[in-house]
Amino acid sequence: MRTLKFLLRKEFRQIFRNKSLLPIIFVLPMVQLLIMPLAANFDVKSINLVIVDNDHSTTTDRLIAKIGASGYFDIRATEPSYKKALALIGNERADIILEIPAHFERNLVREGAQKVYLAADAINGIKGSLGSAYLTSVLADFNNEFRLTWVQPQKFNTLATIDIAPVNWFNPLLNYQFYMVPGILVILVTMVGGFIAALNIVKEKEMGTIEQINVTPVKKWQFLAGKLIPFWIIGVFDFTIGLLIARFVYGIVPVGHLAVLYLFLAVYLVALLGFGLLISTYSDNQLQAMFVAFFFIMIFILMSGLFTSVDNMPPWAQVLSRLTPVTYFIDVVRMIVLKGSGLSDIKYQLLIEGAFAIVLNGWAILNYRKTT
Amino acid sequence: MQQFLVFVRKEFYHVFRDKRTLLILFGLPVMQILLFGFALTTEIKNARILIVDEAKDIASQQITNEIAASSYFSIEKSVLSHKDLYTAFREGKVKCALVFPAHFNDDLVHSNKAQVQIIADASDPNSAKTLTNYLSAIINDYQNRLNATAVQPYRIQPETLMLYNPELNGSLNFIPGVIALVLMIVCTTLTSVSIVREKEMGTMEILLVSPFKPLYVILSKAVPYLALSLLNFILILLLSIFLLHVPVRGNIFLLFGESTLFIISCLSLGLLISGVTNSQQTAMMISMMGMMLPTILFTGFLFPLENMPVPLQVISNFIPSRWYYTIVKTIMLKGLGFSTIWKETLILIGMTVLLLFISLKRFKIRLA
Amino acid sequence: MSEKAIVCKDLTKEFGDFTAVNKISFEVNTGEIYGFLGANGAGKTTAMRMLCGLSYPTSGEAMVAGFNVYKQQESIKKNIGYMSQKFSLYENLTIRENIEFYGGIYGLSDQQLKSKEDELITTLGLEKEAKKLVGGLPLGWKQKLAFSVAIIHQPKIVFLDEPTGGVDPVTRRQFWDLIYEASAKGITIFVTTHYMDEAEYCGRISIMVDGRIDALDTPANLKQQFSATTMDEVFYALARGAKRSAD
């Protein structure tokens, strides 16, 4: 135990004296947390609409006014032809076109039905389908109003209507930051823990000081614990600062118990650091360790459900996602912070994370040899 | 010229002998394409829905069947009480729920008005919105079919065309961005690390002391990585076309030209980074970790640029990959030509020239 | 009866079909200064690593400080000191902090640590630099410090791997003064070097060529055996036919 004390003392002294490391551990995560949530937003806000009005009647004027008032669209331009409107989509100045045929008003009354044409930029599929859905619903609304001005309500059959009452649980204001910030918090702890821990041991290998330690009576577990514990502490510290930023900058107050959150964090960090450790036992120099760590951490982050939901993935990808330790923490952090989930709700994830911790660290310990 | 080729060949040896460099050079792009192409998508599939059917009549049954048939939803076994519902949500077992009140069909048939409740887990607001929309669409469909026989005068009938992506392939949006991201990271990292490695080993001084002009020293570094990056680009392109069925609708030569331009800008960036540090580790940290986040955020392929606050949008204008992404999207997916993207190309050229100028100047200063 | 510090019989290390150390046998007496010489690539460092418990031998036997190198490595480590070829102190810790660290992990009590720290700093004349980072010291001081730290726990044997590389002759001489002091206190010294003049400082030396020990005796006897006036000539006579050239 005393040996461990000396190891820890040395480790902490070295960390705090490393001028290039300190900003990465403390400043970078904070900057990330302040900028990323502002940028990371899948919301579909204002959709740029271009109108090709071949009719120019009072009806179409009213229709256009209604569309403008709906709040979904930003009417960018009115063009005289579809071709010109399409050019605007081509150079990204518009997202969707509405083309109204000539003599629209006259033909609607005379023939009882008229077509209008929508063309949406569907490269961003969600934006395209939401945009056309919104426009279609505004059109339907306008259609009903139009009927009422021309025909007495009793003159057409009563329709059966199903009223839909949507309710949003856990995040009634649909605040996207509530969703992203906890996830980003996990990522920043992951980058610090995974990368830095891996690099640390390899650096000693590179410098030769590891050989010096191998020759002493220091036991394997003491050496590894001496490496893990400081970064574990730093991980918890970073996470706490992150939570404070979430509270005071974004107004996110965890609904669930902090104790449960920290419990999971503790286990998660052990698993993550074990992973970094494992990489370092397979690398001879820092460059190698960085490349490999970067490769895997990229996969972890992309597959974790941070940016795109795991449920949307094909089955094989979901399996891959379930094999990464990050996924579970992202799940749990969102569940605890937003839904107030408790210990019993997350016991499955906790168990799996614990398994990761044991397997990764065990593997690393077996792999690290004092004698070759 | 002979000497030049010798150096170029040496550089290729360095790259191909190190397994881990190869991992980054070829493994990373392939991995990204596979993930972004097949696994990552914002399109909703098989969302778990709970149906609380207190009516258990023909209408609720039919709507339930519709939902079961839809690929967007996957029905979980139904639950009885409101409390159970809450627990199910909290445990993350379901993403949304549809509640049919008792006498649903009766109300519909006799009073022409009925209600349903949609509950969505809004911890992910986007999926909540989308799921609510999809469910509403199914219900509205059913409603319209009920009313199909009713006569509706003055019908406005919208016809919708989905441009560029009729099958609504969710990954189409990502791919040009992945191309930009991969080229940026790989090219910049390998270039900067390779130059710094020479500095660290001391061989850079030897090169500079030789009769070889400094400019040639740099070129000898740039040419191999230009070639490798182009190779990389071809690899990603082939994967996208044949594996992911992403079309190349525009002029492929133009695409190559623009990509070469972009690669050169990444090379200059790598050169610039190598000028600010003498340690391979730092060079790598800056190129990989430092570049990764801004590139992902500000290129605009993952998160739409128009959603960001204005200061961030301004920053994004300084990131070369943002312009390259637009160019690739326009050529590959929209099939348009130079006349549409001349502005972006000009900006990219300007950035490349500026970067080259600054990095070469720094390099010369170090020599003096 | 004084136990032998190191006993080695047919010690061998193979890497695949490359035999780095080929059946070497020798003994080192307690209190001796033993020079383990050889050209680059001869197998010196590999052999030494086996004796320190850093590497498992492929075959053969060895006992270090009375302990078996296969089964009792942890006991060996408690009783030896080591100074590696690549420098071994932490550059971004101060002199005091390095001493405290190594002393601590070898089990010195707080009191012992304090007195050792003061003792070392005074002996080496480093009072003014005590609070400075080791990285800022000139190479000669670093080496002397590394040696002192290697014997901080009064080990029975200390292994030195090319300890005087890269410094001027005066500093090297001073380093050897330290070695003599340690030897006088009863510590056995096992040192490898390729400076042949340092070979003269040793009690006995062995010379490795291509993984084998080709000579083992006192410097005086070897010079006589090879009709040489300096150890350089002895070495040249033996190593001339060597086939391997780099470690």
For residue B98, give the CATH number of its domain: 3.40.1710.10
pLDDT digit string, tens, across residues B239-281: 888 888 888 888 899 999 999 999 999 999 998 888 887 777 7
**In chain C, residues 71-90 whose CB comes closer than 8 Å to chain A:** 73-74, 77-78, 80, 82, 84-90
Q: Are residues A71 and A93 in the same domain?
A: yes
Number of domains, chain A: 2
> What percent of chain A is predicted at pLDDT more than 70?
96
Expressed as residue numbers, the domain containing A83 is 47-155
Above 80 in pLDDT, residue A155? no
**Cα-based angle C245, C246, C247 (whole degrees, multiple of 5):** 135
Any domain includes A117 = yes
Query: What is the rounded CA–CA span in Å between residue A17 and residue A21?
Result: 9
**A355, pLDDT greater than 90:** yes
Angle between helices C169-184 and C139-150 (to 10 degrees): 10
Rg (CA), chain C: 18
B33 occurs within a structural domain: yes
* Domain's final residue, options A155, A187, A211: A155
Walk me through the domains of chain C, giving residue ranges and CATH numbers: 4-239 (3.40.50.300)
Partners of chain C (3+ Cβ pairs below 8 A): A
Mean of the pLDDT values across residues C111-128?
85
CB within 8 Å: B39 and A130: no
Task: Classify residue A167: in a domain, yes or no.
Answer: no
Within a domain: B164: no
DSSP 8-state class, residue B73: E
Residues A197 and A338 in one domain: yes
DSSP-derived secondary structure for C167-185: --HHHHHHHHHHHHHHHHT
One domain, residues A91 and A193: no
Q: Which residue has the tokens 């605890």?
A: A336
On the question of pLDDT at A149 being above 80, the answer is: no
Same domain (yes/no): B300, B180: yes
Q: Which of C53, C78, C92 sits opposite A14 (nearest CB)?
A: C92
End-to-end CA distance of chain A: 26
For residues C56-72, average pLDDT: 90
In terms of domains, do A200 and A77 share one?
no
Q: Which domain holds residue B242?
A: 2-40+170-367
Is C100 in the A-facing interface, judged by CB distances under 8 Å? yes
Q: State the Cα–Cα distance between residues B32 and B30, nearest whole angstrom.
A: 5
Residue B11 domain-assigned (yes or no): yes
Which amino acid, B188? T
Q: What is the residue whose two structure tokens read 């461990």?
A: A4
Chain B: closest CA distance from residue A292 (Å): 7
Query: Which residues neighbour C43 within 8 Å (Cβ) at sequence distance 6 or greater?
Result: C13, C20, C21, C22, C208, C210, C211
Domain of A52: which CATH number?
3.40.1710.10
The structure's pTM equals 0.82
Segment among A56-70, A107-121, B202-216, C100-114 with least mean pLDDT: B202-216
Q: What is the mean pLDDT of residues A238-266?
A: 91
> E-strand spans in chain B?
47-53, 73-76, 96-100, 113-121, 155-163
Sign (positive/negative) of CA torsion B261, B265, B266, B270?
Answer: positive
The alpha-helical segments, DSSP class H, found in B18-69 are 19-22, 28-34, 58-69
Instruction: Give the range with max mean pLDDT: A17-21, A163-167, B114-118.
Output: B114-118
C191, β-bridge pairs: C35, C160
Tell me if B123 and A127 make a contact (CB, 8 A cut-off). Answer: no
Domain assignment present for A330: yes
- The larger pLDDT score, comparing residue A156 to residue C62, is at C62
B286 lies in the same domain as B241: yes
Neighboring chain B residues of A333 at a CB cutoff of 8 Å: none
Q: Which of A17, A208, A372 is opposite residue C92, by nearest beta carbon?
A: A17
Quote the pLDDT of residue B256: 93
CB–CB of A94/A48 below 8 Å?
A: yes
Same domain, A94 and A200: no
Mean pLDDT of B109-114: 83
Q: Which residue has the tokens 């009073």?
A: B111
| Residues of chain A found within 8 Å of residue C153, distances taken between Cβ atoms | none
Provide mean pLDDT across the span A253-266. 91
Q: Do residues B19 and B115 share a domain?
A: no
The answer to whether C77 and A215 are in contact (CB under 8 A) is yes
Contacts 24+ apart (CB under 8 A), B142-150: B142/A162, B142/B59, B142/B62, B142/B63, B142/B66, B143/A159, B143/A160, B143/A161, B143/A162, B146/A160, B146/B108, B147/A157, B147/A159, B147/A160, B150/A156, B150/A157, B150/A159
Which pLDDT band, with edges at 50, 70 and 90, does A330 fall under? very high
In a domain, residue B358? The reply is yes
pLDDT band at A120 (very low <50, low <70, confident <90, very high): very high
Q: What is the pLDDT of residue C1?
A: 37
The phi and psi torsions of A318 (rounded to 5 degrees) equal -65, -35
- B10 with B82, same domain: the answer is no
pLDDT tens profile B80-105: 676 788 888 887 788 899 988 888 88
Question: Is the CB of C53 less than 8 angstroms away from the CB of A215?
Answer: yes
Identity of the residue in C77, C88, C92 whose CB atom sits nearest the CB atom of A208: C88
pLDDT band at A152 (very low <50, low <70, confident <90, very high): low
**Nearest-CA residue of chain A relative to C53?**
A371
pLDDT at residue B260, as a whole number? 94
DSSP E strands, C87-210? 157-161, 188-193, 204-209
- Whether B151 is covered by a domain: the verdict is no
Interface contact B165-A308, CB threshold 8 A: no
**What is the rounded distance in angstroms from the CA atom of residue C247 to the CA atom of residue C240?**
17
Verify that B52 and B101 share a domain, yes or no: yes
Q: Tell me which chain B residues have a C-beta less than 8 angstroms from the C-beta of A191.
A: 289
- Measured between CB atoms, which of A14, A214, A219 is closest to C90? A14
A355 vs B1: which has the higher pLDDT: A355
Task: Read off the pLDDT band of A23 (50, 70, 90).
Answer: confident
Instruction: Kindly state whether residues B207 and B310 are assigned to the same domain.
Output: yes
Least Cα separation, residue B145 to chain A (angstroms): 10
State the nearest Cα–Cα gap between A8 and chain C, in angstroms: 10
Chain A residues lying within 8 Å of C55, measured CB to CB: 371-372
The residues near B357 (Cβ < 8 Å, ≥ 6 apart) are none
Q: Do chains B and A touch (3 or more CB pairs under 8 A)?
A: yes
Do both A231 and A90 map to the same domain?
Answer: no
Domains in chain B, number: 2
B59 and B24 within one domain: no
What is the C-alpha to C-alpha distance for residues B328 and B172, in angstroms, rounded to an integer? 12
Last residue of a domain, one of A120, A155, A190: A155
Q: Residue C169's pLDDT is what? A: 85
Distance, in Å, from the CA atom of A308 to the CA atom of A317, rounded to the nearest integer, reads 12
Asked if residue A280 and residue A135 are part of one domain, the reply reads no
| Residue C84 clears pLDDT 50, i.e. is over it | yes
Mind telling me how many Å the CA of A203 is from chain C's nearest CA? 12
Residue with tokens 């996470």: A239
Residue B155, in any domain of the structure? no
Q: Is the pLDDT of residue A354 over 90?
A: yes
Q: What is the mean pLDDT of residues B207-225?
A: 76
Average pLDDT over residues B312-332: 90
Name the maximum alpha-carbon separation found in chain B: 97
CA pair distance B309, B68, nearest whole angstrom: 40
Clarify whether residues A266 and A138 are in a common domain: no
pLDDT band at residue B153, thresholds of 50, 70 and 90? Answer: confident
Which of B30, B90, B116 is most worth mutating to test chain A (most A CB atoms within 10 A of its CB)?
B90
Question: What per-residue confidence (pLDDT) applies to B18?
Answer: 77
**What count of CB pairs under 8 Å joins A to B?**
325
CA distance B339 to A91: 10
* The pLDDT value given to residue A50: 93
How confident is residue A156, by pLDDT bands cut at 50, 70 and 90? low
Residues B117 and B245 in one domain: no
**Residue C212 and residue C45: Cα distance in Å, rounded?**
13
Residue C246 has pLDDT above 60, yes or no: no
Give the mean pLDDT of C81-90. Answer: 82
Pairing of strands C212-217, C204-209: antiparallel
Average pLDDT over residues C142-155: 89
d(CA C5, CA A202): 34
User: Structure tokens of A319?
Assistant: 């399996």
Would you say residue C107 has pLDDT above 90?
A: no
Mean pLDDT to the nearest integer, C192-198? 82
Q: Is B153 part of a structural domain of the chain?
A: no
| Amino acid at position B230, single letter | L
On whether both B220 and B363 belong to a single domain, the answer is yes
Residues of A in contact with C82 (CB under 8 A): 212, 215
> Does B349 score more than 90 pLDDT?
yes
- Confidence (pLDDT) at B222: 84
Name the pLDDT band for B9 (thresholds 50, 70, 90): confident
Residues 128-167 of A with CB under 8 A from B: 128-130, 132-133, 135-136, 139-140, 142-143, 146-147, 150-151, 156-167
Q: Is the pLDDT of residue B149 over 70?
A: no
- Answer whether residue B163 is part of any domain: no
End position of a domain, from candidates A122, A155, A188: A155
Q: Both A239 and A318 in a single domain?
A: yes
| pLDDT at C247 (0 to 100) | 43
Task: Indicate whether B23 and B62 sit together in one domain.
Answer: no
Is the domain of B222 the same as that of B282? yes
Q: Is the pLDDT of residue A157 over 60?
A: no
Q: Name every chain B residue with its beta carbon within 8 A of the beta carbon of A126.
A: 42-43, 126, 130
Nearest to A345 among B90, B130, B307 (CB): B90
Interface A:C, Cβ pairs < 8 A: 75
Residues B91 and B221 in one domain: no
pLDDT grade for A66, boundaries at 50, 70 and 90: very high
* Reported confidence tier of residue A350, pLDDT bands at 50, 70, 90: very high
Q: In chain A, which among 217-276 make CB contacts under 8 A with chain C? A: 217-219
Q: What is the mean pLDDT of chain B?
A: 84
Q: Which of C102, C105, C111, C157 to mutate to test the interface with A (most CBs of A within 10 A)?
A: C105
User: Which of A4-8, B354-358, C126-130 is predicted least confidently?
Assistant: C126-130
pLDDT 10s digits, B23-32 = 778 888 888 8
- Say whether both A83 and A224 belong to one domain: no
Average pLDDT over chain A reads: 86
A166 domain-assigned:
no
Determine the pLDDT at residue B258: 93
